[in-house]
Amino acid sequence: MPAVSKGDGMRGLAVFISDIRNCKSKEAEIKRINKELANIRSKFKGDKALDGYSKKKYVCKLLFIFLLGHDIDFGHMEAVNLLSSNKYTEKQIGYLFISVLVNSNSELIRLINNAIKNDLASRNPTFMCLALHCIANVGSREMGEAFAADIPRILVAGDSMDSVKQSAALCLLRLYKASPDLVPMGEWTARVVHLLNDQHMGVVTAAVSLITCLCKKNPDDFKTCISLAVSRLSRIVSSASTDLQDYTYYFVPAPWLSVKLLRLLQCYPPPEDAAVKGRLVECLETVLNKAQEPPKSKKVQHSNAKNAILFETISLIIHYDSEPNLLVRACNQLGQFLQHRETNLRYLALESMCTLASSEFSHEAVKTHIDTVINALKTERDVSVRQRAADLLYAMCDRSNAKQIVSEMLRYLETADYAIREEIVLKVAILAEKYAVDYSWYVDTILNLIRIAGDYVSEEVWYRVLQIVTNRDDVQGYAAKTVFEALQAPACHENMVKVGGYILGEFGNLIAGDPRSSPPVQFSLLHSKFHLCSVATRALLLSTYIKFINLFPETKATIQGVLRAGSQLRNADVELQQRAVEYLTLSSVASTDVLATVLEEMPPFPERESSILAKLKRKKGPGAGSALDDGRRDPSSNDVNGGVEPTPSTVSTPSPSADLLGLRAAPPPAAPPATSGAGNLLVDVFSDGPAAQPSLGPTPEEAFLSELEPPAPESPMALLADPAPAADPGPEDIGPPIPEADELLNKFVCKNNGVLFENQLLQIGVKSEFRQNLGRMYLFYGNKTSVQFQNFSPTVVHPGDLQTQLAVQTKRVAAQVDGGAQVQQVLNIECLRDFLTPPLLSVRFRYGGAPQSLTLKLPVTINKFFQPTEMAAQDFFQRWKQLSLPQQEAQKIFKANHPMDAEVTKAKLLGFGSALLDNVDPNPENFVGAGIIQTKALQVGCLLRLEPNAQAQMYRLTLRTSKEPVSRHLCELLAQQF
Amino acid sequence: MQFMLLFSRQGKLRLQKWYVPLSDKEKKKITRELVQTVLARKPKMCSFLEWRDLKIVYKRYASLYFCCAIEDQDNELITLEIIHRYVELLDKYFGSVCELDIIFNFEKAYFILDEFLLGGEVQETSKKNVLKAIEQADLLQEVFFLCCLTKAIGCLGEVWEGS
């Protein structure tokens, strides 16, 4: 083995490193470094040409300084010079410097690429590998452009050395991950799959990673890899522990390769070929059997490698989710690990069991471990393990064990780490709601949450309890009594005051009969908390007070006194002052009847997916679906807690779009949905300002109240009506939309989320949601390069008359977007009246000094403000006849551009926004829809009919609306979708 | 794998390898955050933790922490053994490796890592093959040295292939 102080040792470097290590302080270190930098700079600039060794030494010093965390702004040229050195170590150091400190200076990139090209062509495997390593380490788009086409050739060339093939495979993988468009698919792909058969295990190991990545994007092209992977796996699994020589790791044959092969198989469903499948199941069983054998070594490396394969095998079994026998065996194996002395194994077993819990075959088997898991939650010393245990309890919860699990989680909450409290609170709230048999238990649980961890109870949670109490009259009395008791505590959390204030304001009368909770007692209890609360809570309490005046006329004088007090009437906070003034006047001038109407009990909220669930999904991101889902295996629960239960489709795609589709398919809600509160993106619009306090929500007398109460400055309405002028330069400042703008826009007519635009530098994603005449859109700008964008400024422009038709209010975004980073921009949209052209989105920034600009059409089309309308056939025809003026109808006959599939058509029409009416058209092939376009100024009723003709591959589309331009515009928009 | 960091008990970064494009600022931020998080953990705790949307796998060898960030679907245990195999490779090359070897020969530590992992994936798991590649490189440089002396660069390819 070569000693370290070989011929290439750099004495100067060693001395420098020692000096740095001997520095007593940060200042001394910086001083020493600056001295060295000055020295190197003068050497590089000096007249005397440096020899290769010195250049290598100085470049290496610069690298060391950079790795210490200091900035380096020179030396790149010298490093590039080293690339073409004849001496191997000089070349190697040059490449290392480039890999670590790559700079997008175009002149340099050209030189670097030249050097790489020479080395790739050198036919010297060591040089070729160096060059490939460099490409893989840098992995930039520029390198992809230069080499992505060559590397597949090197990879499959018959005369390439094994080591070169290995590097080429992973180099290509890195380039493919960075810019898939640059890697041309071709006949090489078939030969890559056959690398799975290669004699050299190292080549197979490298190739599997590449194949796994490629087949995720093109599963059909790589299908042949399934049988090859299975036979390779089978040979490894059945080999004796010494067969594979150096590829055996602590008596485990080829653990890395086995894990990668199992990973690859998880890209596909179970093999269709019975023989292949049989062989695979045999492999999986062998792995499970081996887990029961005594270990061949006491070393932890042996058990880790063996168990790595075991866990990957279990992942594959869960992925297939079709072999009950294997699933249960997997569960039993994990059960053993739950009590293993190795913390790592306990952690992984808890994690893996979480996914098992969502399979219908193993859910029951997972449940048998409940006591062990609860014990883990109580006794594990490591917070990350406890968190896994909490996740698993959440995943295994169903109606049979909900009470036990919720109470254990509540107990855990008292001592839980701050970092995970909010998540636990959300989970408890969801479980309590989902599995509540009687709602008094649910109310108790939420109040306990507030008591134990009030700071971590988010608005979604306490809004939700209010919604549920409002909607279920069987629990209202109990809720009033319980909050009244909870408020007795000398120090209670502000969230408790909010919930208490709201509930007593609505249902305080239900407990007023008891002298211990008579109206004056209720009032003075609430008012004793008043002065300790924030403005938002005080505003809510003022609303409670005015409701009390209606509920309990005997409190009127006291409450008027409070409202009249100088501290209210002249409060510095404009919201509080306004409420005091208005409520005082209202209580003095309105008759009892008017008062009773204005302050009537809140109408029920429309049922739909819990906003808490949405919040948890947002917190956990996609992929959390499995743990959140058990509506799927417990369909009976829908009966009791119906509106709250997520449908399986909602769960598998935790994006807000799914929620939205669910909303649209539902009949229009009874109450004005604007404040109906829960859920989705819009909810935070309404929770911003104090005006959004739920008690001031949409009572039937909305118009009356809203006259009394101009929106607070923070309210979204005010913002919408007053678009920020700064963000809105005249249309003359921006270029015309890009040629594809219309096509991109068309993609979004029937959907609200997706990628709006993508090029080499930038990706723009859209998420949007519309309700009535309001909308909110999130734009995500992703910097795909590794270089920061500067002066980044996206603006929305209204061409022509659009200003008067659509109000779009944008928030500013940061002017810098780091390489690889994403920024988000929020747009609030209000449709004032019908409009025909979409607003323009102009994006400008500087990339590497060059100004870039881009104009797109913002995917806001008139159909976004559709509200679906259900109606019977008779009504439909009556309205259809009413709209029979020739100018009210628009019709188009056109050829199908896509395969004619009834389900797809249906989805598109629903996405378009209208309701689909069944049994209206006498021809069942035809589609009939109805909806209302909501704008601030007017509503436009729309009826549509789509008649497919499969034989001719044609459609006829007819639209009738009360406004001529709208009919034509909708007809054009929709016709392009089929 | 998204990145690998080696740092000392004092929190000094000894080696960093990034397999995803990130700005220097972001890299420094991640490093600071992770070093702090890992150093705060007690010895008996488990070697895995969730961090942002990644999984962190770490292990301590004497004074040095090896810390890898992997993606959601990656295998934690095999990553632990990636770390161990890398330590074995360093150990074999340097001869009972210690932190000082890595400080003074940081470039070698990078070269060995490149032979073992490329683009964040395991390239070659055989200890023999990895070390052979490094030795060949060491040998090559001596051959080069001789060849340069004799100005006989033309014969290099054959010399190398014959060796």
- Domain with A807 in it: what CATH number? 2.60.40.1230
Residue A925: inside a domain, yes or no?
yes
User: Is residue A350 within 8 Å of residue A385, measured between CB atoms?
Assistant: yes
Q: Cα-flanking dihedrals φ and ψ of residue B60, to 5°? A: -105, 130
CA distance A690 to A698: 15
Based on the fold, state whether residues A446 and A559 are members of the same structural domain.
yes
For residue range A699-708, what is the model confidence (pLDDT) as tens digits? 333 333 333 3
**Contact between residue B119 and residue A170 where contact means Cβ atoms under 8 Å apart:** yes
Contact A168, B125 (CB under 8 A): no
Domain-terminating residue out of A817, A843, A859: A859
**CA-based angle A699:A701:A707, to the nearest 5?**
115
Q: What share of chain A is helix, strand, coil (3-state, %, to 5)?
A: 60, 10, 30
Q: Confidence band (pLDDT; 50, 70, 90) for A889?
A: confident
Burial A422-458 (b: 16+ CB within 10 A, else e): bbbbbbbbbbbbbbbeebbbbbbbbbbbbbbbbebbb
Is there a contact between A79 and A94 (Cβ–Cβ < 8 Å)?
A: yes
CATH class as words, domain B3-125: alpha beta
Q: Which residues of A965-976 are buried (b: 16+ CB within 10 A; e: fewer)?
A: ebbbbbbebbbe
Cα–chain center distance at A971 = 34
How far CA A536 is from CA of A453, A495, A540, A675, A845, in Å, comes to 20, 11, 6, 17, 40
The answer to whether position A838 is within a domain reads yes
Rounded to an integer, what distance in angstroms lies between the CA atom of residue A146 and that of residue A95?
Answer: 17
- Residues constituting chain B: 163
Q: Which of A859, A883, A914 finishes a domain?
A: A859
Are A393 and A540 in a shared domain?
yes
Chain A: closest CA distance from residue B42 (Å): 9
**pLDDT for position A698:** 35
Section A386-398 average pLDDT: 92
Which of A67-71, A500-504, B150-154 tops mean pLDDT?
Answer: A500-504
Helices (H), A435-555: 439-453, 459-471, 473-487, 494-507, 519-530, 535-551
B114 at A interface, C-beta within 8 A: yes
Which tokens belong to B149? 């002396």
Of A558 and A655, the one with more pLDDT: A558
- The radius of gyration of chain A from alpha carbons, rounded to an integer in Å, stands at 34
What separation in angstroms does the CA of A405 have from each of A429, A636, A723?
A: 12, 20, 49
Average pLDDT over residues A152-177: 92
- The predicted pLDDT at position B145 comes to 52
Question: What pLDDT does residue A105 have?
Answer: 62
Which stretch of DSSP H or E encloses residue A842? strand A840-847
Instruction: Identify the CA nearest to B74 among candidates B122, B35, B23, B5.
Output: B122
Percent of residues, chain A, with pLDDT higher than 70: 86
pLDDT value, residue A317: 94
- Going by pLDDT thresholds of 50, 70 and 90, the confidence category of residue B9 is very high
Are A759 and A895 in a shared domain? no
Whole-number Å distance between alpha carbons of A388 and A863: 45
User: Residue A820 corresponds to which amino acid?
Assistant: G
What's the pLDDT tens digit per position in A405-414?
A: 999 999 998 8
Q: Alpha-carbon torsion A399, A404, A409, A411, what sign? A: positive
Tell me which chain B residues have a C-beta less than 8 angstroms from the C-beta of A301.
81, 84
The amino acid sitting at A807 is: A
pLDDT value, residue A487: 93
Residue A957 lies in a domain: yes
Indicate the domain borders of chain B: 3-125
Query: Per the domain annotation, does A811 fall within a domain?
Result: yes
Element counts in chain B: helices (H) and strands (E): 6, 7
Confidence bin at A883 (pLDDT 50/70/90): confident
Does A386 share its domain with A462? yes
A955 in a structural domain: yes
Which of A107-116, A253-262, A311-320 is least confident? A107-116
Express each pLDDT in A567-617 by its tens digit. 888 888 888 999 999 999 998 888 888 888 888 888 887 766 667 777 777
Which residue is closest to A71 within chain B, CA to CA?
Answer: B24
Tens of pLDDT, residue by residue over A212-231, are: 999 998 888 899 999 999 99
Looking from the CA of A70 toward its CB, the CA atoms found within 13 Å total 18
List the single residue in B with minimal CA-CA distance to A385. B46
Output A524 or A650, whichever has higher pLDDT.
A524
pLDDT at A682 over 90: no
What are the tokens at A426? 């959300």
Q: Confirm whether A951 is domain-assigned.
A: yes
Same domain, A828 and A874: no
Q: Give the CATH number for residue A892.
A: 3.30.310.10
Predicted pLDDT at A104: 59
DSSP-assigned letters across all residues of A206-223: HHHHHHHHHHHH-GGGGT
A827 and A945 housed in the same domain:
no
Structure confidence at residue A479 (pLDDT): 93
Looking at every residue in chain A, the average pLDDT score rounds to 82
- Is the per-residue pLDDT at A299 higher than 50? yes
The confidence band for A48, taking pLDDT boundaries of 50, 70 and 90, is confident
Residue A399 lies in a domain: yes
Please say if the pLDDT value at position A284 is more than 60: yes
Out of B24, B49, B76, whose CB is closest to A348?
Answer: B76
Asked whether the beta carbons of B84 and B102 are under 8 A apart, the reply is no
Examine the domain organization and report whether A758 and A849 are in the same domain: yes
Residue A507 predicted with pLDDT over 60? yes
Which chain A residue has its CA at the smallest distance from B93's CA?
Answer: A1
Lowest mean pLDDT among A666-680, B65-79, B91-105: A666-680
Residue A118 pLDDT? 92
Which of A65, A119, A113, A73 is CA-nearest to residue A92?
Answer: A119
ipTM for the complex shown: 0.88
Give the structural domain span for A758.
737-859
CA distance B18 to B69: 10
Q: Judge: B16–A67 Cβ closer than 8 Å, yes or no.
A: yes
Residue A260, pLDDT score: 96
CATH number at residue A518: 1.25.10
From the list A60, A174, A385, the residue facing B46 with the nearest CB is A385
Of the residues A596, A625, A658, the one at which a domain ends: A596
Work out the pLDDT band at A352, boundaries 50, 70, 90: very high
| B152 in contact with A, Cβ within 8 Å | no
Q: Look at residue A909 and tell me whether its pLDDT is greater than 90.
A: no
**H runs (alpha helix) in A8-158:** 11-22, 26-45, 52-67, 76-83, 88-100, 106-120, 125-138, 141-147, 151-156
Structure confidence at residue B144 (pLDDT): 52
Tell me how far apart the alpha carbons of residues A114 and A122 are, in angstroms, rounded to a whole number: 12
- Residue in chain B closest to A820 (alpha carbons) equals B22
Tell me what pLDDT residue A407 has: 92
Nearest by CB to B140, which of A126, A166, A344?
A: A126
Confidence of residue A721 (pLDDT cuts 50, 70, 90): very low
What count of residues does chain A have?
978
Query: In chain B, what residues touch A173 (CB-CB under 8 Å)?
Result: 119, 121
Q: Are residues A930 and A848 in the same domain?
A: no
**Dihedral of alpha carbons A502, A503, A506, A508, sign:** negative
Q: Which residue of B has its CA nearest to A348?
A: B76
Contact A465/A443 with Cβ under 8 angstroms?
yes
Share of chain A above pLDDT 90, in %: 34
- How many whole angstroms separate alpha carbon A691 and alpha carbon A712? 6
Above 50 in pLDDT, residue A465? yes
The predicted-structure confidence for B48-76, as pLDDT tens digits, reads as follows 998 988 999 999 998 899 999 999 999 99
Pairing relationship of beta strands A915-916 and A889-895 according to DSSP bridges: unpaired
Q: Is the pLDDT of residue A250 over 90?
A: yes
pLDDT for residue A733: 58
Q: What is the pLDDT of residue A670?
A: 36
- Number of structural domains chain A divides into: 3
Question: Is A106 exposed, middle or buried (CB count within 10 Å of its CB: 0-12, 13-18, 19+)?
Answer: exposed
**pLDDT of A803-830, one tens digit each?**
888 888 887 788 888 888 888 888 888 8
* pLDDT recorded at residue A725: 36
pLDDT at A9 over 90: no
pLDDT band at A302 (very low <50, low <70, confident <90, very high): very high
Reduced to 3 states (helix: H, G, I; strand: E, B; else coil), residue A335 is helix
Q: Which residues of chain B have a CB within 8 Å of the CB of A88?
A: 137, 140-141, 144
B84 touches chain A (CB under 8 A): yes
Residue A346 inside a domain? The answer is no
